Amino acid sequence: MSLFPRVGRQQTGLRIAWYTMVTFLVLGILLHLFPFYYMLVTSITPAQEAMGLRPSFWPQNPTFAAWQLIWEATTKNSTNAAARAMLEHPYSVYFLNSLFIAAATMLFSLPITSLAAYAVSKLLRGPAARWAFLFFIGTLFLPGMVTLTANYLLVLNFPFPVPKVPNIPGTETAFPTMRLYNTPWAVIIPGLFGAYNFLLFKGYFDTIPDSIIQAARVDGGSEMNIFRRIVLPMSVPVYAVAAWTMFGGVWESFLWPKLVLADNEKQTAAVAIYEIMQKFNTEGTTDQARIQQQAESMREMLAAGLSWNGLMVLGILQTVPIFIMFMICREYLMKGIKIRGLK
């Protein structure tokens, strides 16, 4: 159904409103597409031209040298010196690290968050439900920097977010701990619960009639069986929305993996791209040996045809998993939008 009926568009006021809305929508689409267009254009721009201060909307001599160099940088046995100068390990290592961390966080987070939301929505009653809801939602009001230190201490001495592990009462032996630092679980475990997805799930579960849940209980169904056979099939759209947002958020995260993953071979793709960017930036560096090493690496990469064009190639590759995830969840995402619009 059209926003403005065809008959109504004959009126001057509605016609002006119609064309104004269409103009703003087209401008919005172009503004969203322009960064991707510029990334594609820069990725096929020669290295020296890409380093120029004047932006170019189409290269004078298009080349796929950056794409070829990035492809060689993904293999373990590359003979290209510039490809080896980019990163300590093949780019595929960082890409797979990001894929594992994002997928594991998503797969573990969805059941934890959805079950917590189901408990608050359908199981708890009275003050307990209200205080549990306020507790979970209260984490949304805490900036990430506030919890950064606590999370860092948590991965150092899991499950105690303190600098020094307390002793077992009556003994001088400290409680046993797990050192998650410098492992993928240091990124996965702190992201297992998301207050935003909790709010999304609870809002959706609140729309499921209690009579359906009560009827299943009368028939002898356990809470887990009710959730698995009734609630879960009805909630596929909201699971798709939560999965997509969770995967994208973890995939694009930079600061936390940079802090808790010390070994270079365990870093994520976002951190690897940052390391390549630093090879073209010597600001704030006082170590002459490091400056000389960066200059040598830069000369090798420029000679091979790599500068900002290679970073644009990596940026495009960085968006591919999120785009694939969106295409997988697209049908359910649209259903979720329609359902939320009908409420």
* pLDDT of 7 strictly over 60: no
What CATH number does residue 125 fall under?
1.10.3720.10
pLDDT in tens, 224-267: 999 999 999 888 889 998 999 999 999 999 999 999 999 989 99
* pLDDT of 339 strictly over 90: no
Q: How far apart (Å, rounded) are the C-alpha atoms in residues 239 and 235? A: 6
User: Residue 301: which domain range?
Assistant: 65-342
In a domain, 8, yes or no: no
Mean pLDDT of the chain: 83
In a domain, 23, yes or no: no
Per-residue pLDDT, 92: 87
In a domain, 302, yes or no: yes
Domain count of the fold of the chain: 1
In a domain, 13, yes or no: no
User: Which structure tokens are listed for 118?
Assistant: 């189901």
Per-residue pLDDT, 341: 44
pTM, two decimals, is 0.83
In a domain, 48, yes or no: no
In a domain, 278, yes or no: yes
Confidence of residue 5 (pLDDT cuts 50, 70, 90): low
* pLDDT of 37 strictly over 80: yes
In a domain, 187, yes or no: yes
In a domain, 29, yes or no: no
Burial 233-248 (b: 16+ CB within 10 A, else e): eebebbbbbbbbbbbb
Percent of all residues in the chain with a pLDDT value above 70, rounded to a whole number: 84
User: Which structure tokens are listed for 191?
Assistant: 């992201």
